[in-house]
Amino acid sequence: MNAPLPIYLDYAATTPIDPRVAEAMIECLREPELQGNPSSMGHEYGRRARARVEQARAQVAAAVNGRPECIVWTSGATESNNLALLGVARFHADRGKHIVSSKTEHKAVLDALKQLESEGFFVTYLKPGADGIVAPEQVSEALRDDTQLVSLMHVNNEIGIIQDVGAIGRICRERGILFHVDAAQSMGKVGIDVQAMCVDLLSLTAHKSYGPKGVGALYVRRNPPVGLRPLIFGGGQELGLRSGTLPTHQIVGMGLACEIAEREREADVARICALRERLWTGISKLGRVELNGHRTQRVCGVLNVSFHGVEGESLKFALTDLAVSSGSACASASDAPSYVLRALGRSDQLAQSSLRFSLGRFTTEAEIDAAIAAVTREVERLRAIAPATSPAK
């Protein structure tokens, strides 16, 4: 018999697929009329598949207040980030080779920037405050005459804080500098408005908002055009920006997931916020715990907590009842302390003794209460066997 599954509190790593989204995807996989190549406009199969793809494009565009023709399908946020950064930097290399970003970006941004540095670009990595926030003034001060691009994430995947991308976008627009936002964690949690936020490029993914894995999108402002060099060459799909046969079922799933996320955002946020507060209240009763990131400028579903007096690996091993993360799922294969928490000034030891609880649409009050009980039991047990005079105790 299979062991019971742990309580899932890792929504920031990926979300389960909403059953409504799954149904729409299954329809695409089941119905012969939807199984044409969306680029085969010469027959009805292709045209029907294309109609679904364009409907999804409109759904995604509406969720970010953009125009459908600005949406480019990709395989996910990693590809979107790579396309935005490498594509813009290489296209505009003659305008300048300076880029501004931050130390707490996702690896999909940091590693793409590292690649650009190896190609001769210069990157300024802003250090956020202890609360994880990058102040707009920091961006202003970092801009140079040869700055061609600023790239910042909207919502941090490890600590859940929300950057003021609107204020930063306006600074960039005034200076004529392109602004890219990694919004992989934003959809359905915080409003996205590419017009009001003066965003030129915006990375999105489906699987963080109850859609399928393996599909994402890059919003690329078209008027005036941004200028982007593609990374993938072939059939010239997506106006030549991203070649490859479009996966109709994945795209339909992403479109519906974004529509639902935006339509139900207010209700989801209110409910999940209450659960997160319940979790924090319960955990903080342990004492000697610290919330990582800004207290209020944060999304509803993420709670990153450092536990004094317990060693990180033991804490994680003890909590077999919970599916939680010690940092980004994309980087947690190593035991190294989170670079995000280190950038916030946490010690190696405390960064390593930190857990990210992330809640979502299907989290229940009973699961939160069970999580509080498990964390309380194991932290108290591990603290009880630690030396009493230990500075961490």
Partner 1 sequence: MTERREYSALVERHFAAPRNVGRFEPAFDVLVARSGRVDQGIEVVLSARIEAERIAALRHLVYGCPHSIAAASWLTERLVGATLDELAQWRWREAATALDVPPEKWGRLLAIEDAVRGLERAWRERASSRARTA
Q: Is 386 in the site for partner 1 (CB under 8 A)?
A: yes
**Contacting residue, 326, 338, 354, 363, with partner 1 by CB under 8 A:** 326
Residues 4-23 within binding reach of partner 1 (CB under 8 A):
10, 13
Judged by beta carbon, residue 44 or residue 335, the one nearer partner 1 is 335
**Contacting residue, 316, 341, 346, 372, with partner 1 by CB under 8 A:** 316
Q: Is 323 in the site for partner 1 (CB under 8 A)?
A: yes
Q: Is 325 in the site for partner 1 (CB under 8 A)?
A: yes
Q: Is 106 in the site for partner 1 (CB under 8 A)?
A: no
Rounded Cα–Cα distance for residues 17 and 14 (Å)? 9
**CB-CB contact of 371 with 9 (8 Å):** yes
- HSE-up (13 A, CA, CB side) for residue 122: 9
Rounded Cα–Cα distance for residues 44 and 60 (Å)? 24
Q: Is 330 a catalytic residue?
A: yes
Judged by beta carbon, residue 124 or residue 332, the one nearer partner 1 is 332
Which helix (H) or strand (E) segment holds residue 361: the answer is none
Rounded Cα–Cα distance for residues 37 and 58 (Å)? 19
**Contacting residue, 313, 336, 345, 373, with partner 1 by CB under 8 A:** 313
Kindly give, in sequence order, each residue whose CB lies less than 8 Å from that of residue 160, ignoring residues fewer than 6 positions away.
12, 185, 293, 298, 299, 301, 302, 303, 304, 358
- Indicate the residue type of 377: R
Judged by beta carbon, residue 48 or residue 383, the one nearer partner 1 is 383
Q: Which range in 110-118, 214-222, 261-269, 382-390 contacts partner 1 by CB under 8 A?
A: 382-390
User: Least distance (Å) from partner 1 to the CB of residue 103?
Assistant: 22
Q: Which residue has the tokens 């209460």?
A: 369
**CB-CB contact of 161 with 155 (8 Å):** yes
Judged by beta carbon, residue 247 or residue 337, the one nearer partner 1 is 337
Judged by beta carbon, residue 104 or residue 353, the one nearer partner 1 is 353
**CB-CB contact of 257 with 216 (8 Å):** no
Size of the site for partner 1 (CB under 8 A): 30
User: Least distance (Å) from partner 1 to the CB of residue 93?
Assistant: 38
Tokens describing residue 15: 């979300």
For the chain, the residue count is 393
Which spans of this chain sit near partner 1 (rule: CB under 8 A)?
10, 13, 309-311, 313-314, 316-319, 323-326, 329, 332-333, 347-349, 384-388, 390-393
- Catalytically annotated residues: 330
